[in-house]
Amino acid sequence: MAPKETDYLEIAHQRAIEKKTHVSFPQLKYPSLRDKGLRDPFQWLQGKSMDDGAEGLWRVHDGLYDLEEFMETHPGGYEWLELTKGTDITEAFESHHIRPIAEKMLPQFYVRDAKTPRNSPFTFKEDGFYRTLKTLVNEEIKKVPKDKLKNTDMVTDGLFVTLVVASILSCWTTNYWLAVGSFIVASVSLAWLTVAAHNYIHRRTNWRMYYFNLSLWSFRDFRISHSLSHHLYPNTLMDLEISAFEPLIS
């Protein structure tokens, strides 16, 4: 007889305490290296590679693929594949490729089947919720006017110009109130620019993602901790943006 829900939760939490599994998904392995060091994004990738059974290749579902020769021509940019080599990229592959083109190309890079089951609860069945939703989203994206992206670019670039002008003015002027006002404008512009630049980090490699580094954060680290960890495994033990605050917040 299956355990009651209360018993199930108690078992799940006990297994998490023993670091054998996730709290969110009790059937999964507790992430390797999760409690080591300062929870660096690249350490997170290293731990993930230890758990994913990708054997130094790229894993998508239960297949292993060699994308080495494809890295330079990858439409999303070289870096996404460089960062994820040796890991299971199924969630990233499914969520970042709305159109079926990538799935049709994938077989030409096939090497062999993986030896271990996927360490994930997500199946992405053809008639399942996510694949159905993705098909509908693909149709809606076709209706979005092309100039909408240009408007976003103009706003983002405008924030950068405002930041530069206000910063120079706050350093140059000898008027106290003008300096204070310029400083406030520069500060607000930097905050908004960081938020705007965050959107470009999710996209294919582009020069506007470097705006993010003006906040003294690294867009490369943020691609791991935010795009590959938080967005793909939100609010689980695989979410680096949650574990990074431990033990201050637990």
- Strongest mean pLDDT among 125-139, 156-170, 229-243: 156-170
Looking at the structure, do residues 67 and 131 belong to the same domain, yes or no? yes
Rounded Cα gap, residues 27 and 189, in angstroms? 45
Lowest mean per-residue pLDDT among 14-28, 125-139, 174-188, 216-230:
14-28
Domain count, the chain: 2
pLDDT of residue 143: 87
Which residues have a Cβ under 8 Å from the Cβ of 215 and sit 6 or more positions away?
Answer: 190, 193, 194, 197
Do 70 and 82 touch, CB atoms closer than 8 A? no
Residues 186 and 120 in one domain: no
243 located within any domain? no
The rounded percent of the chain whose pLDDT value lies above 90 is 65
Last residue of a domain, one of 86, 101, 136: 136
The answer to whether position 23 is within a domain reads no
Q: 51 lies in a domain?
A: yes
Q: What is the CATH number of the domain that holds 92?
A: 3.10.120.10
Boundary (domain end) residue, out of 85, 101, 136 = 136
Per-residue pLDDT, 78: 95
- Assigned domain for 50 exists: yes
> Has residue 16 got a pLDDT over 80?
no
Q: Identify the bridge partners of residue 59 per DSSP, sorted by sequence position.
A: 64, 88
Asked whether the predicted pLDDT for residue 120 surpasses 90, the reply is: no
Does the pTM exceed 0.85? no
Q: Regarding predicted confidence, which is higher, 163 or 4?
A: 163
Angstrom distance (rounded) from CA 42 to CA 249: 22
Whether residue 126 sits in one domain with residue 105? yes
C-alpha 151/C-alpha 148 separation (Å) is 5
Region 146-170: what's the mean pLDDT?
92
Q: Which domain holds residue 183?
A: 147-217
